[in-house]
Amino acid sequence: MKLENLARIDLNLLVILQVLLEEQSVTRAAARLHVSQSALSKSLNRLRDMLGDPLFLRTAHGLKPTAHAVQLGKMLPQSLQGLYQLTLPPSFTPHNSTRQFSFAMVESAYETLIPNFIGGLLSRAPNLKLDSFVWNENSIQAIQQGQIDFGIAGRELHPQSAFQVDRLPDGIAHQTLFTDHQVCLVRKNHPIISTFAAGHWDLDVYLDMSHVQVRCEGNDWWALDYHLADLGHHRRLSTTVPDFYGAVSVCAHSDLIFTLPSSFAQHAKKLYHLVELPLPIEFIPLAYVLLWHERSGDDPGHRWVKEIICESVAKALANSESASLVN
């Protein structure tokens, strides 16, 4: 590598290229970078001259990256992260750090996990800025691109599920925070409660009911649905909603049954008059995992936040188990 050649390159253009690759729109990229579209277009022309490639082709649906731009997009996040690391202090001191960290979490983790670590982080590092976002089908990509520092998501163990822990994209590291199991919720005074009390609660009864389902990462099926399909069964998914709170509300005001992680069911029962029933079949657990990109592993601040999250969640779970034993 000839450093004198690198000195002639405006590294700001690489940041612009990364944003253009992510947004594939001059308008959106300009808004994100807080510059005018005219200024961004000039920077794009400089990028084309610098790299000797058109980089993007205009289409009716926005900018389409060329093959060379796609290849650059595979290398840029790692390179830019390395440059970012160079700008950070050599160590991380929690009590006076003004770092910013971002999280994307599945909705069911907000009530069950986030209260356990946000306070712990800010009590030790009061000047941190913590940004939280709802987990969606683009969150893994956001972690890969460095837009999100951490993800907390539910990963499943069924071989046909798209959400398996061992099917994470290259570069994504994880640590299991805790495992959970599925339970069922119905409204108070639901007719099925007397059926259950009489000992008539099995898979046939469960499948005969109408279900409300939460759409996860754009998918209507959960691991449970794949498992039932393997057995030749299907749930009657009468209503599909985008979030857990919506599903709980529907469940509380209808005869639909809602199958969900036990940890969120405990919270739901505080909000509505709901009755919990066991899932009538044996089924694999659900793992809640903390996700991050491997390139952040050497960042002391990132490592400190990760350790606090894991320690706080483990302590909260231990306290919850102790309380359950006492009760």
Q: Is the model more confident about 259 or about 156?
A: 259
User: pLDDT at residue 162 above 60?
Assistant: no
Phi/psi of residue 233, nearest 5 degrees? -120, 160
Residue scoring higher pLDDT (11 or 7): 11
- Please tell us whether the domain made up of 182-284 is placed in CATH 3.40.190.10: yes
Q: pLDDT per residue over 277-306, tens digit each?
A: 999 999 888 888 999 999 888 889 999 999
pLDDT digits (tens, 9 = 90+) for 27-83: 999 999 999 999 999 999 999 998 999 999 998 888 999 999 999 988 888 888 778
Chain region(s) in the chain for CATH 1.10.10.10: 3-87
Its pTM stands at 0.68
Higher model confidence: residue 197 or residue 81? 197
pLDDT at 254 over 70: yes
pLDDT score, position 7: 67
CATH 3.40.190.10 maps onto the chain at 99-179+287-326, 182-284
- With a CB cutoff of 8 Å and minimum separation 6, the contacts of 315 are 116
Which H helix or E strand runs over 258?
strand 257-261
Share of the chain above pLDDT 90, in %: 52
Fold category of 3-87 in CATH: Arc Repressor Mutant, subunit A (1.10.10)
Closest among 168, 166, 120 to 314, alpha carbons compared: 120
CATH dotted code for 99-179+287-326 = 3.40.190.10
Residues with Cβ within 8 Å of residue 304, at least 6 apart in sequence: 92, 94
CB atoms within 10 A of CB 199: 7
Average of per-residue pLDDT across 7-25: 87
Closest CA to 210 of 238, 248, 182: 238
Tens digit of each residue's pLDDT (9 = 90 or more) over 181-196: 999 999 999 999 999 9
